[in-house]
């Protein structure tokens, strides 16, 4: 009798296509294959409280309900296993398209970690030296200048020494995004700074990234090499170095050496047209904190589906999904390898995730390695343990990796500008669910 009832239930499922199958790899699928509902792993295997993880649900849903976020995807791995994966709200509210866990996002500066990994893979091959001058690969950087203030007057002076690969990896080359008042007009005249959205956007440029970075070398930088931590075009220059040292366009190098081997099928610089419906729309925080749809162009939706597709910006150009980016981070957490595929050596990963700049980045317990911000003191970055590392992107995306807790934390949103505090609250909501320190 019980077997007969089971057959009837199965027949009903096949006809309706609406019942959810058992959890596989941290998420469940319906038989129709069109929808996904995230779940949490059993507490006994994840070490996280299922009840406390539900606080993430309530918090992120509240942002959506209060119209402070259109939508979000949150993902947590514990020792490589998916313990939390949920989609909230809308990927395109006006189009009525719901957010799903495989939605694709503009990750902006989260591109930097991947480009840094590309550079270091070439360092491992002996094609690049960490301490060598950038001019060995881009001769235009042999003699650079700095915009210095003397008695209230801005003067352009020669750099005291050449910019090195190490300077670029750690953001200590003195190179900004060219939006400061002293240099903004100079940068804008060369198609950079204010002429590139908020400074970092080059996806609409009809030229290779090396052409843009060679032009950058003719402009004055914000600080002398090695004397300050200055956030800017550093990793975009490294993208050009990858091309010059490998003889391969950056998009192809990243694909063949990092994303394809790791199975990151949704990570690329420009989106194939057939996937445009999976790309989340960009929203902006209004004066009242409520969302409005961001405009087209470099200060909003960008040029990631249509456009010249020639500028592969190693500092801010990639698109990705939460699951894809988590695979890259899990490779880093695992010492440079994932599922039998080695991308980097363990010693190289240690360089990436160890503070290399002393107190130049922060005097309050945060450092910067070769591509990641590091937590050097407990309490310097929320509940991050010492040894944790992470960063984020201009569209509001963020991530943390905490080797001590065996955690990878990814939050994807699309807000530019972003006035929410969700990026600060989300890691705390994950940490408070840990059943043990």
Q: What is the percent of the chain where pLDDT is above 70?
A: 89
pLDDT at res. 436:
77
What pLDDT score does 31 carry? 27
User: Which tens digit of pLDDT belongs to each residue from 251-299?
Assistant: 999 999 999 999 999 999 999 999 999 999 999 999 999 999 999 999 9
Query: Are 93 and 153 in a shared domain?
Result: no
Indicate if 230 and 267 belong to the same structural domain: no
Q: What is the pLDDT of residues 108-162, one digit of tens each?
A: 999 999 999 999 999 999 999 999 999 999 999 999 999 998 878 999 999 999 9
Q: What is the pLDDT of residues 400-413, one digit of tens each?
A: 999 999 999 999 99
CATH of the domain at 308: 3.40.710.10
376 in any annotated domain: no
pLDDT at residue 6 greater than cutoff 70 = no
Q: Is residue 282 part of a domain?
A: yes
Tally of CB atoms within 10 A around 435: 12
Q: Does 133 map to a domain?
A: yes
Is residue 6 domain-resident? Answer: no
CA distance 126 to 88: 45
**Do residues 78 and 121 share a domain?**
no
CA distance 184 to 351: 34
| Domain carrying residue 199 | 114-247
Q: What angle do CA 378, 333, 344 make, to 5 degrees?
A: 130
Closest CA to 223 of 178, 169, 166: 178
Total tally of structural domains belonging to the chain: 2
Continuous segment of H or E residues that includes residue 214:
helix 209-216
Q: Are residues 139 and 204 in the same domain?
A: yes
Is the pLDDT at 377 greater than 90? The verdict is yes
- Please give the Cα distance from 388 to 404 (Å, whole number): 8
Same domain membership, residue 400 and residue 262: yes
30-39 pLDDT, tens digit per residue, is 322 323 344 4
166 and 231: one domain? Answer: yes
Contacts of 436 (CB under 8 A, 6+ apart): 47
Strands 36-38 vs 71-78: parallel, antiparallel or unpaired: unpaired
> Quick one: which H or E segment has residue 397?
none
Active site (catalytic) residues: 109
The answer to whether the CB of 195 falls within 8 A of the CB of 177 is: no
C-beta of residue 388 within 8 angstroms of C-beta of residue 377: no
Q: Indicate if 132 and 202 belong to the same structural domain.
A: yes
Long-range contacts of 181-184 (CB under 8 A, 24+ apart): 182/147, 182/149, 182/154, 183/147, 183/219, 183/220, 183/222
Per-residue pLDDT at 35? 34
Q: Are residues 52 and 139 in the same domain?
A: no
Strand ranges for 213-274 from DSSP E: none
The whole-number pLDDT of residue 83 equals: 96
Residue 365 within a domain: no
User: If you ran DSSP here, which 8-state letter would residue 22 be given?
Assistant: P
Question: For helices 50-65 and 422-431, what crossing angle results, to 10°?
Answer: 160
Closest Cα to residue 352, out of 333, 370, 336?
A: 370
Each residue's pLDDT tens digit, 41-66: 444 448 999 999 999 999 999 999 99
CB crowding 143-172: b at 16 or more within 10 Å, else e? ebebbbeeeeeeeeeebeebbbbbbbbbbb
Write down the pLDDT at residue 388: 98
* Residue 409 · residue 418 · CB < 8 Å: no
For residue 155, being part of any structural domain is answered with: yes
Last residue of a domain, one of 185, 216, 247: 247
Q: 131 and 174 in one domain? A: yes
CA 71 – CA 414 distance, rounded (Å): 8
Give the per-residue pLDDT at 164: 98
Residues 34 and 122 in one domain: no
Q: What is the pLDDT of residues 58-102, one digit of tens each?
A: 999 999 999 999 999 999 999 999 999 999 999 999 999 999 999
Query: Among the three residues 206, 227, 247, which one is the final residue of a domain in this structure?
Result: 247
Residue that finishes a domain, picked among 212, 247, 282: 247
Q: Does a structural domain hold residue 224?
A: yes
Is 120 inside any structural domain? yes
Distance, in Å, from the CA atom of 311 to the CA atom of 319, rounded to the nearest integer, reads: 14
Tokens encoding 187: 């940068």
**In a shared domain, residues 62 and 164:** no
Q: Are residues 426 and 291 part of one domain?
A: yes
The per-residue pLDDT for range 290-346, each reduced to its tens digit, is 999 999 999 999 999 998 999 999 999 999 999 999 999 999 999 999 999 999 999
């Amino acid at each position: 009798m019980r077997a007969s009832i089971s057959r009837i239930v199965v027949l009903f499922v096949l006809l309706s296509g609406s019942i959810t199958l058992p959890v596989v790899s941290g998420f469940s699928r319906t038989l129709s294959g069109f929808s996904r509902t995230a779940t949490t792993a059993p507490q006994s295997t994840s070490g996280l409280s299922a009840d406390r993880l539900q606080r993430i649900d309530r918090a992120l849903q509240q942002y959506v309900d209060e119209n402070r976020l259109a939508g979000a995807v949150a993902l947590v791995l514990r020792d490589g296993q998916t313990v939390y994966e949920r989609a909230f709200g809308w990927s395109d509210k006006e189009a009525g398209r719901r957010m799903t866990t495989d939605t694709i996002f503009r990750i902006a500066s989260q591109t930097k970690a991947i480009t840094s990994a590309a550079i270091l893979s070439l360092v491992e091959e002996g094609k690049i030296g960490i301490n060598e001058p950038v001019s060995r690969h881009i001769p235009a950087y042999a003699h650079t200048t700095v915009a210095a203030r003397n008695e209230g007057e801005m003067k352009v002076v020669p750099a005291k020494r050449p910019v090195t690969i190490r300077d670029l990896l750690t953001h200590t080359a003195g190179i900004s995004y060219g939006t400061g008042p002293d240099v903004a007009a100079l940068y804008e005249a060369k198609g950079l700074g204010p002429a590139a959205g908020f400074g970092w956007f080059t996806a609409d440029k009809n030229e290779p990234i090396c052409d843009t970075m060679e032009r950058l070398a003719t402009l004055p930088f914000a600080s002398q090499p090695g004397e300050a931590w200055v956030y800017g075009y550093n990793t975009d220059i490294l993208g050009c170095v990858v091309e010059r040292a490998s003889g391969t366009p950056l998009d192809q190098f990243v694909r063949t050496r990092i994303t394809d081997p790791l199975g990151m099928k949704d990570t690329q610089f420009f989106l194939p047209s057939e996937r445009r419906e999976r790309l989340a729309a960009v929203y902006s925080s209004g004066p009242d904190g409520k969302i409005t749809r961001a405009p087209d162009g470099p200060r909003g939706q960008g040029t990631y589906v249509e456009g010249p597709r020639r500028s592969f910006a190693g500092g801010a150009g990639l698109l990705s999904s939460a699951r894809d980016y988590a695979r890259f981070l899990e490779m880093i957490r695992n010492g440079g390898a994932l599922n039998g595929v080695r991308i980097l050596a363990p010693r190289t990963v240690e360089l990436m995730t160890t503070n290399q700049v002393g107190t130049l980045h922060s005097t309050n317990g945060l450092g910067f390695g070769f591509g990641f911000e590091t937590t050097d003191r407990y309490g310097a970055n929320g509940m991050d343990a010492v040894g944790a590392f992470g960063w984020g992107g201009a569209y509001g995306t963020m991530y943390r990796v905490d080797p001590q807790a065996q955690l990878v934390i990814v939050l994807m949103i699309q807000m530019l500008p972003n006035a929410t505090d969700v990026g600060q609250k989300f890691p705390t909501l994950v940490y408070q669910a840990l059943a043990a320190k």
